[in-house]
Amino acid sequence: MNLHIFKNAQDASQAVYEQYRDRLEKGAHVLGLATGSTPEGLYELLSQSDLDFSDLYSINLDEYYGLASDHPQSYAYFMNQHLFRHKPFKASFLPNGLAQDIEAELERYNQIIQNHPIDLQLLGVGNNGHIGFNEPGTPKDSLTHYVQLTEETIDANQRFFNHRDEVPSTAISMGIASILSAKEIIVMAFGPQKAWAIAQAFEGPVSEQVPLSFLQTHPRVTFYLDQAAASQLSRELRQAHPLEGGESLS
């Protein structure tokens, strides 16, 4: 796995933005997108750019179950606010958080992924090492599935809601196999709360207990971290990847 460690999140977002420019120039056609605070800087750069997405498809990783697409905390709303209203795609897909027939919705989403193979998948990281909403224990061969969120994830995401009991406890998420089917994967992680998961993913075993570690089995993955997210990596690994955009890590 490739690793870039930056002075701060802003420099890392700029570097990821440049990767997007390059991949779009090279013909990337289907973008797998992520939500959360981590990619906000990237989406701002993409929104302000001269890049044209009107011939591209986007497929999002996940959606809370029980929130309508116009709910301010739904991922559909987030994507619209941060990217789609500035840069419309030819078509943008997210799981339907209000689907009555969940099995049919999972099948619909798997079919979308199969019909639009993802060129470049963007990932953030949950504090417990989840990707999308693939919580610890999710098998490597999983496709889109209905998820019971862990208490830790609900705690981490409650900052976006008025009260903890407003945070949905379930979601629909692309599976690990869906994510690994992308031709290329970019991971962004910022802040000390991500340091444990990052260290496990790089230096621990491939394990269902840390879904991020499954990326070790993919041939083309690049991590873009700030110093804090890299802080629990071994000294050897950090020395081999000097800080970009500033002085070396101590």
CB of 239 to ligand GLP, least distance (A): 27
Cβ-count burial of 129 within 10 angstroms (0-12 exposed, 13-18 middle, 19+ buried)? buried
CA distance 122 to 38: 11
CB of 240 to ligand GLP, least distance (A): 26
Nearest to 106 by CA among 179, 171, 29: 171
User: Per CB under 6 A, does 3 bind ligand GLP?
Assistant: no
Longest dimension (CA), the chain: 53
Number of H helices, E strands in the chain: 8, 10
User: Among 32, 95, 97, 132, which residue sits at the site for ligand GLP (rule: CB under 6 A)?
Assistant: 132
Query: Where in 160-219 is the site for ligand GLP (CB under 6 A)?
Result: none
CB of 27 to ligand GLP, least distance (A): 26
User: Per CB under 6 A, does 62 bind ligand GLP?
Assistant: yes
Q: Are strands 62-64 and 170-173 parallel, antiparallel or unpaired?
A: antiparallel
User: Among 41, 126, 129, 168, which residue sits at the site for ligand GLP (rule: CB under 6 A)?
Assistant: 126
Residues known to be catalytic: 62, 128, 130, 135
> Which residues are at the interface with ligand GLP (CB under 6 A)?
34-38, 61-62, 124-126, 132-133, 153, 157
